[in-house]
Structures are given as structure tokens and as C-alpha cells.
Structure 1
Amino acid sequence: MRSMNVAERRARLALRHRLSPQARTDDVAGIARSMVVLHATDPATVFLSVAARSVGAVPGAVEKALYDDRTLLRMLAMRRTMFVAPVELVPVLQSSTANGLAAKQRATYSRLIERGGDVPDVPAFFAEAEEAAHRALLARGEATGAQLGADVPLLRTRVDPAPGKSYSRPTSVTTWILVTLGCEGRIVRGRPNGSWTSSQYRWSPAEAWLPGGIEDVPADGARAELVRRWLRAFGPAPAADLKWWTGWNAGDVRKALALLDVTEVDLGGATGLVLSDDLEPEPAPEPWAALLPALDPTPMGWQERGWFLGEHGPALFDRNGNIGPSVWWDGRIIGGWAQRKDGEIVFRLLEDAGAEAEAAVEREAARMAAWYGDVRAIPRFRTPLERELTS
């Protein structure tokens, strides 16, 4: 069995994730393709992930790709997580993951309406509300949820999500309907109301990004294509990492792998998978430093992170498994960083990596400070070290 040790995995990470200076680019969509998708649960993550992998790109370049060129699209997909994806990958994500998610969302919200609303025929109500919201959005071209609620009376229907509970607060179904339409690929999240750190988006018809809508592709082939891209970016890795990243059941993972030509490799006590045409080692780049944001797709790409995280998990992760801002040196995490209220970028190294590493991290901190400019962004999920650095 071919052996792929930690040093080889770290070299792949440096080059394929565009973290080594020699692999960086100002092609925003190209950066997203390198990572398969960019995490977008925290809106700032998308921009800061690009910052870490670019040479001279600025926030406006990311906004241009998202909202003017429309080469990227924001959508819910794996593990019901928000991602920014290259538009050519959207049909794959829709068929492999989002369609199933849409069915689950519809079922969940329907139960809430049945339990806490005064709606005699929930399936008919849900379908009618969806169609009315979609028509209103087509007429407007772009709208906020509040604007669509004003246009469509059904969206203003109020539901008590937890009847009899003291903490329950009646809410309208607007967000539920729009989220479901988004999962179905009929509408998309467009430009936010505020800066690039805002999560209050305006909605647009999917046709505004993809003329003719999202192409319908077979689910089995879509899952295989998504796995192929993940293995190219994150392989070699155990099948358990793939199952975790996709959020699929074990059967769907096995079926997808069966459609691909993959090879098992020894990861030093564990068995990993790699595409069979991707067994050649990458040339090790020069030592490099990077400041990756909270929820960056590199550390969130694997479930088993010991080979690059070491013992630093308790300081850098919250209780729900979300990573905060991390400092990297030559393929491993050596610390964490944060932006203070005055805009200063501060970091703490959790191990002694040497003077060269510390100087390189200082340079990356200066780069990140220039990217932020006057913008202040607190990570959506606070982690122990990030809180300490900003206290």
C-alpha cells in the first residue's frame, strides 16, 4: 500500500489550498474552486478566506465575483451549512445535497405550522405560499424578506413554534418559506443590506444567476462529482472524513466512491483514500505562514485534524466544533489571532516555531489588517483564545 505521511499531506494542503505564497492568486472564483466551496455561515469568512489566499485582491473583488460577475453563488448545502460555490458546481450541490435538504426543511416547518398555527391544509398552504413568494420576487427582481412579506399576505401568517412554552414567541412564516425556496434552488441570496460582514441578504430569482434555472443532474453522478472534487482538494483522507464533510449517510458515500477510481493509502495507522491518478507527491514548498479566519474551509475540511491541529483544539474550537481564527506555519496550526475593537490584529503562538515563523506571522497580520481597513468583524462563533485576545 502506498504510504502518504504527514509531511506529504501538509505539502498538498499548502499548494492545493493556495496557502503557500507561490500558490496564491487574485482569481476569487479560482480560490473557491480550489477549496470546492467556501464556508459562509459567517459572512466575513468568505472574504477573509480569500484574503489569506490572494496576493493583492481587496474586498471589492469578492463582491464583484458574487454580485456583478455572478461567478459565485451562496447556498445551503452539506450539513445544512451555508457555502459560497462556483456557479458551475451549483447543479452538483443541488442534486447531491440541497434537494434532500429542501425536503427536510419543508417537513420540519410543516410540523411547526401544524402544531402552532391555524392552517387546515398545511401542504396546500406551504405550496401556495411558495408560489406566491416566487411570483412576487420575479416581479420585483430583488427583495428583502420584509418586502416580500408586505407583497404576499400568506407570508405574514403567524405561528407559535412551541405552544405552551414560556420561551416561545409567535413568528411569521416568511423566513421558513424563503429558506425552503432557497434549498429548492428557486431563489438565491444576493447582495447584503450592509457591509461584507452583514448576513441580512436580499433575495433574487435563481434565473438572475443562472439563466434557465439550475440544471437537473442525476443524484448519483452529482454525488460522485462532489466526492471527486473533495478528494482532489482534501485527499488523501479517511472515508469517515468524507462522510462527515458531506453529511451524507454511509450508503450514499459508498455509492459515490464506487463510481470513482480511488486508491487506498496508508496514512500512518489509518487508511486514506485518494484518486488513483493523484498518487504522485507534491514538491514541498518553502515554509509559509497564514492567518485563516473562523470557519475557514481548510481546517473545516476534515473531521480528524490531529495531523495539523496537534493539541491546540481546546483553545481554538468552541463547544460545537466551530474553529476560530487560526495561525498556520508550514502546514500546521501553531496559534490563534483576533481583531480588536480598534482594528489591531493580534495573535498568540501556542508553540515555539522559531523566529522565522514569528516574523512571517507578523507579515501576515499586517496583510490582514490592511484587508479589514475600517471594517470590524466579530466572529459569529466565539472561541476561547479569540475571546482572550480581544478582552
Structure 2
Amino acid sequence: MTVLSARALNRATLARQHLLERTTAPVQEVVAHLAGLQAQEPQEPFTGLWARQRGFTPGLLDRALTDRHVVRTHLMRRTVHLVTADDALAWRARHDAMLRGRVLATYRSELAGIDPDELAAAGRAVMADGRPRTMAELVQALQDRWPGPPRRALGELLVAALVPMAQLPPRGLWRTTAGVRNLPLDAWTGRDLAPLPEGADDDPVGQQLVRRYLAAYGPASTADLRSWSGLAGLPAAVKAVRDELVTFRDERGRVLLDLPDAPRPSPDTPAPVRFLPAFDNAILGYRDRSRIIDDADLGLSVAGLRAVLVDGRVAATWTTRDRRLGITPLRPLSPQERGAVEEEAHALAAFLDQGIDDIGFTAP
């Protein structure tokens, strides 16, 4: 079995994530290829798409959101993601049990005695009038029937788990500060959600998730797949598509799966500097993130810090504050690397168009 080095895996990830070379594909296709972008910080996906799409402008994502081709919704790992409407409708039922289980585990004592199905039916009835509501407004409408649980716990269960919701614009639009207003996914998109087959021997949605994950993140292990999706019940789907896949090992001996024709560039392929947003897919899409970030820096990836890739690996963080784009290296950078980082930083500053008049390096 072929062994892939960490550098080989790094270059494969960069290629799949459009970080070796920016793509000319439309925004909707990029979001679909990536199987969504983590988006609990509403402005971060703009930088994520700028890093990946040639000629990206914020209006392209704004239009995709307002035209309802792309939606903001709770999905993988119970995290708000930007996904295409097609994927949201197709995948949501497959994530329902995970979403419900995670909320109930988080608020176990607060939600004791609540019948989730009864609460879901009541929530849908309230939303049937087609009026978008904040979580607080939805909970307020049900407070007489469920006066006991804390409002936050009840709202999280409804909005993040029981009733598939879209977070409506202007939330998530460029440079827009707006609270979360929810509407059921089917009402917002005008289409029905795909049901989860009952008693089916196979798992077509799970199989699609496996293929789509590998297309954007492979080669990867089944543990990586579980970490990305938050779903524990994909072994049957992996088994069903296993004959379609090729198998490798990493340097630690772990089995990695991949699509046979997916790009696996040479480890010597040059990797350009890329500025990534907080919670970027390329870092958080794996259980084992060693292909792109050092173990000592793993905390950065979950703390909401923005990363700079140098030679394909996280080598610095970046911030914007007081008209300054600050770069904090995590390791010494050569003069050539610093020059490349500065060049990309100027391009980022022009994209952000926030009146940045200073770009500089700061000590860790």
C-alpha cells in the first residue's frame, strides 16, 4: 500500500481546497465543491472564498444568498455552515439525529422531560405563517406551553436541531451586522427536504457525503470523515463505496481513502501564500490536522484565529485593527517568505477595502 508523506497530503488538501491555484468556478459551485464553509462568524466566508476563487467579489456571495442558491444553516457538527440550497435540502435529514443528540447532550438537565417531537410540531405550527422569527421570538410564542426550561436551551433545541432552519439575509451579507432571523428551510427555498429512507439497506445520502468529503478533503481516514461531519453512523456508507475508492497509508500507518481520479500533486509542487479566515475548512476538516498545522499550534484552529499558509502550512496568524493588517509569525520566516506574505497581505487589504494603511509583522 502506497505511503503518502505529510507533505504529499498537504499538497492534496491544498489542491482539493482550491488553495494551490484559485478557481474560476462560480461561487455556488465552489461552495458545493467544498461541501460547505463553516460560517458561525458571518464575515469569515468572504475571505475564505477570496482565497480560493479568482476575481471573487463580495457581491457574488451576497447574490447567492439573496437569490437563495446558498443558505446559512446548522449542519455538520451542529455548526452554522454556508451550503448550497441543494445540499442543505438533501443532507439535513441525515444530520437530524446528530443535531438533536448534541443539543440534548449539551442541555441534558435543562431539557429533561421535554418531548422533542411535541416541541418540534409546536415550533413548526408557529412558523407556518411564513414570518421569519428570531430564536427569542419563537421561544416566546411557545413559552406558555413550556415555561420551565431556560429560553436559551429551548431555543437551541428548536432552531439548531428540531426544525430545519435557514438564517435569512441580511445576516451573512458583506459588511452587514444583523441578528439571526429564521425561516424553515423548505419555506425559504420553496422546496421540500429530502426524507431519510426508512429501513433501507443502503445509505445513499451517507454515500454521497463520503464521496463529496473525499473530493474536497481526501485522502483522509474514516476518523477524519467523522470529525468533519459529526456523524458516527457512516461505516455502512463507507463500506458500500469502498470498491470505488483507492487506499493509502500515512507515515503513521493509518489507512486513508480517496477517489481514484482526485488530484494528488507532487509533494514538490510550490504552494503560494494564502490568508485564511477563522475556522477554515482546510484546517478543521480533519481529526488529524498534522498535514497542515503543527501540533503546537492546534489551539489556534479552534480559537477563531485567522491563519496564514506559507509553503502550505500554518505559519502565522493575522488580524485587522485600527487600519492595520498585523501578521504574527509562528516560526521564523525567511526574507523571501516575508516578501511573499507581504505581497499577499496587500492583495487582501485591497479586497477588504477597510482603509488599511499599514501592513506589518508583530512578535508572537
Equivalent pairs counted in the alignment come to 352
Q: Which moved more, 1:78-87 or 1:267-276?
A: 267-276
Q: Is residue 348 from structure 1 mapped to residue 348 from structure 2 by the alignment?
A: no
Q: Which has the higher helix share?
A: 1
Kindly provide the CA deviation profile for residues 292-331 of structure 1, in whole angstroms up to 9, marking residues without a partner as x: 01101110011212232125416734xxx44521110232
Alignment partner, residue 327 of structure 1: 308
Alignment partner, residue 382 of structure 1: none
Q: Is residue 310 from structure 1 mapped to residue 294 from structure 2 by the alignment?
A: yes
Cα distance 1:309–1:217, how it changes in 2: closer, same or farther (>3 A)? same
Alignment partner, residue 166 of structure 2: 188
Q: Is the 8 A contact 2:103 2:157 kept in 1?
A: no
Paired residue secondary structure (1:85): strand
Kindly provide the CA deviation profile for residues 222-251 of structure 1, in whole angstroms up to 9, marking residues without a partner as x: 1121111111211112222222222222xx
Q: In structure 2, give the amino acid aligned to 1:201.
A: V
Q: In structure 2, give the amino acid aligned to 1:291.
A: F
The alpha-carbon deviation at position 190 of structure 1 amounts to 0.9
Q: Distance in 2 between matches of 1:375 and 1:207?
A: 40
Alignment partner, residue 253 of structure 1: 234
Kindly provide the CA deviation profile for residues 28-51 of structure 1, in whole angstroms up to 9, marking residues without a partner as x: 222212321100122122222112
The alpha-carbon deviation at position 125 of structure 1 amounts to 6.0
Kindly provide the CA deviation profile for residues 153-182 of structure 1, in whole angstroms up to 9, marking residues without a partner as x: 435667455xxxxxxxx63777346415x6
Kindly provide the CA deviation profile for residues 316-364 of structure 1, in whole angstroms up to 9, marking residues without a partner as x: 34xxx44521110232111111111x23211022223433322221122
Alignment partner, residue 200 of structure 1: 179
Q: Distance in 2 between matches of 1:146 and 1:154?
A: 10
Alignment partner, residue 338 of structure 1: 319
Alignment partner, residue 88 of structure 1: 86
Q: Distance in 1 between matches of 2:144 and 2:55?
A: 46
Q: In structure 2, give the amino acid aligned to 1:330.
A: D
Q: Distance in 2 between matches of 1:390 and 1:351?
A: 10
Q: Distance in 1 between matches of 2:51 and 2:320?
A: 15
The alpha-carbon deviation at position 19 of structure 1 amounts to 1.3
Alignment partner, residue 278 of structure 1: 261
Q: Distance in 1 between matches of 2:245 and 2:46?
A: 33
Gaps of 5+ in 2: none
Q: Is the 8 A contact 2:273 2:341 kept in 1?
A: yes
The alpha-carbon deviation at position 146 of structure 1 amounts to 5.4
Gaps of 5+ in 1: 116-120, 162-169, 377-387
Q: Distance in 2 between matches of 1:193 and 1:244?
A: 27
Q: In structure 2, give the amino acid aligned to 1:132.
A: A
Cα distance 1:239–1:123, how it changes in 2: closer, same or farther (>3 A)? closer
The alpha-carbon deviation at position 288 of structure 1 amounts to 0.3
Q: Distance in 1 between matches of 2:300 and 2:124?
A: 44
Paired residue secondary structure (1:259): helix
Alignment partner, residue 135 of structure 1: 128
Cα distance 1:372–1:132, how it changes in 2: closer, same or farther (>3 A)? same
Q: State which of 118, 124, 142 in structure 2 corresponds to 1:154.
A: 142
Q: State which of 358, 362, 369 in structure 1 corresponds to 2:349.
A: 369
Q: In structure 2, give the amino acid aligned to 1:359.
A: G
Q: In structure 1, give the amino acid aligned to 2:350.
A: A
TM-score normalized by the length of structure 2: 0.82
The alpha-carbon deviation at position 194 of structure 1 amounts to 8.1
The alpha-carbon deviation at position 198 of structure 1 amounts to 3.9
> Identity rate of aligned residues, in percent?
25
The alpha-carbon deviation at position 60 of structure 1 amounts to 2.1
The alpha-carbon deviation at position 214 of structure 1 amounts to 1.2
Q: Is the 8 A contact 1:129 1:154 kept in 2?
A: yes
Higher relative contact order (CA 8 A, sep 6+): 2
Q: Is the 8 A contact 1:159 1:172 kept in 2?
A: no
Q: In structure 2, give the amino acid aligned to 1:230.
A: Y
Alignment partner, residue 18 of structure 2: 18
* RMSD value, Cα: 3.4
Q: How does 1:371-386 map to 2 (within 5 A)?
A: 371-374=351-354
Q: Is the 8 A contact 2:273 2:340 kept in 1?
A: yes
Q: State which of 228, 231, 238 in structure 1 corresponds to 2:211.
A: 228
Alignment partner, residue 167 of structure 1: none
Alignment partner, residue 100 of structure 2: 102
Q: Is residue 61 from structure 1 mapped to residue 23 from structure 2 by the alignment?
A: no
Cα distance 1:220–1:39, how it changes in 2: closer, same or farther (>3 A)? same
Q: In structure 2, give the amino acid aligned to 1:207.
A: D
